[in-house]
Copies of this chain bind each other. A is one copy, B any other.
Amino acid sequence: MVGISLEEALDLLEQASRIDIKVEKLLLHAANGRILAKDYYAPISNPPFDRSPLDGYAFKAEDSSGASMDRPVTLKVKGVVYAGEYYEAEVNNQEAVRIMTGAPIPKGCDCVLRQEDTDEGEVEVQIYKALKPFDNYCFKGEDIKEGHLLLKAGEKLSPVKLGILASMGFQEVEVRQPLRMGLLCTGDELTPIGEDLKLGKIYNANEVMIQTKAMELGIQIQVLKMQQDTPEAVAKCLEEHWDEIDLMVTTGGVSVGKKDIMHDVINLLGAKRLFWRIAIQPGTPVLAACYKEKLLIGLSGNPFAALANFELIIRPVVAYLTQDEMLKPIHTTGIMENEFKKKSIKRRFIRAYFEDGKVKLNHNNHASGALYTMSLCNALIDIPAGSTGLDIGEEVKVILVDTRG
């Protein structure tokens, strides 16, 4: 068998890299999706005071004893308190305060009656319902208690978590900086998009695909351009940008051909080779090295192979480096709706469409160089080495690669 296992490859990559992700302070609205760099405790309670959950009247519950539509109780309306205000005076028996949703419950009151159960009087109010103490009473700290651990270092910020920080008055938040990834697509055959295509050349589909995949993972990506497709030019380009990145990804130049220059690039850099070739198909000839404690991962240049390599190798490596569990590939199982009659000598990943536990092969082009059929798919089927084929109704392992449809 050519190559190490995918799991061994991931172990080697995780062991080799020693990056140091810095911390930065961001305004809350700019921090969504970022990883918290420290624990956050509640500096205040929320709500910060006992408050009314509705529009009505606050009073002492004992004063409403026996009140009903037929036998209303009359209370003197001592004042009014709106949300955002504070009612200073103490409320005594036989007194009520008109109160709006969110306003602090005045001292002496222990309940709030909704205005629909009163005559909405402004000098005196008729109470049509008896309440118990703390009916319609929202306690200070009911949502969050002062001193409570709100959010932990390592958590990923979401709109709700940012709302929680805002409710505590935090204006900024300390988060980890995004992972910085460099991307360089190699290959003499590649023509930049927008230019005329000469005979024998193809357009560079990998660059924008990996660039936008990386952006979706919250990576700060830098797309590199080199002058010439030679080992010297590539090594020089990588070296020049090495301090600006945490992880370098290349495509192409990793196979056994005469222009598979990445082997020489590693030597020119003086990088330590970690492995070459993983026992998977497509994308076998992955080449990995470590240089100045950062990873250089060379992916296959075939578009589908590069995409599968990204999902199977780059994604878990990024999840590990950023300690962002949510970036890990999503593994599940599904039942085959079609058959796949090919034998697999190596462990093979084929593209498929997964929905409601069912796995469909909705196309018949599994070639490494073919990208179009991947746009119809959202999953990779993980076929073990030595498989003689997949049958209808068979349970298979699946990795979801696009859960948005």
What is the interface of chain A, defined by CB distance below 8 A to chain B?
A: 28-29, 32, 44, 46-49, 51, 53-55, 80-86, 98, 100-104, 115, 138, 142-144, 150-151, 156, 158-171, 187-191, 193-195, 197, 199-213, 215-216, 223, 229, 255-260, 301-303, 307, 325-326, 365, 367-372, 374-375, 402-405
| Residues from chain B with Cβ under 8 Å of A103 in the complex | 189, 200
Contact (Cβ within 8 A) B193 A169: yes
Give the residue of B28, B82, B197 whose beta carbon is less than 8 angstroms from that of A259.
Answer: B82
Are the CB atoms of A212 and B162 closer together than 8 Å? yes
Question: Quick one: which of B100, B199, B369, B404 contacts A49, CB cutoff 8 A?
Answer: B199
Give bound CA distance, A193 to B238, whole Å: 43
B84 & A200 in contact (Cβ 8 Å cutoff): yes
Contacts of A165 in B (CB 8 A): 208
Query: A46 vs B201: C-alpha distance in the bound complex, in angstroms?
Result: 11
Q: Is the CB of B202 within 8 A of A368?
A: no
Query: Which residues of B have CB within 8 Å of A143?
Result: 365, 367, 369-372
Contact at A32–B212, with CB atoms within 8 Å?
A: yes
| A83 proximity list for chain B (CB < 8 A) | 187-189, 200, 257, 259
Supplied contacts A29-B223, A44-B197, A46-B202, 19 more A-B pairs, CB within 8 Å:
A28-B208, A47-B202, A54-B255, A55-B258, A84-B188, A84-B201, A100-B259, A101-B302, A102-B187, A102-B202, A115-B256, A143-B372, A159-B213, A159-B216, A160-B374, A165-B208, A166-B204, A166-B209, A169-B197
- Complex A-B, nearest 8 residue pairs according to Cβ-Cβ distance, in ascending order: A163-B209, A84-B188, A84-B189, A171-B194, A167-B205, A86-B200, A55-B257, A83-B189
Tell me the interface secondary structure of chain A in the complex. loop
Q: List 17 A-B contacts (CB under 8 A).
A: A29-B211, A32-B216, A46-B202, A53-B368, A55-B257, A81-B200, A82-B257, A84-B201, A142-B367, A143-B365, A143-B370, A143-B371, A160-B307, A160-B402, A163-B307, A164-B371, A325-B405
Query: CB-CB < 8 A to A301: which residues of B?
Result: 101-102
With A85-B188, A205-B166 as contacts: A28 and B371 at CB distance below 8 Å: no
Q: Name, among A159, A229, A368, A403, the residue most crowded by chain B CB atoms within 10 Å (CB to CB).
A: A159
B84 pairs with A164, CB closer than 8 A? no
A303 to chain B, nearest CB (A): 6
Q: B164 and A375: CB pair below 8 A?
A: yes
Q: Note all chain B residues with C-beta closer than 8 A to A189.
A: 83-84, 102-103
Question: Which of B48, B104, B203, B211 makes the CB contact (< 8 A) with A169?
Answer: B203
Which chain B positions have C-beta within 8 A of A156? 404-405
Residues from chain B with a CB closer than 8 A to the CB of A159 are 208-213, 216
* C-alpha gap A307/B191 in the complex (Å): 48
Q: Which B-chain residue is minimally distant from A215 (CB atoms)?
A: B32
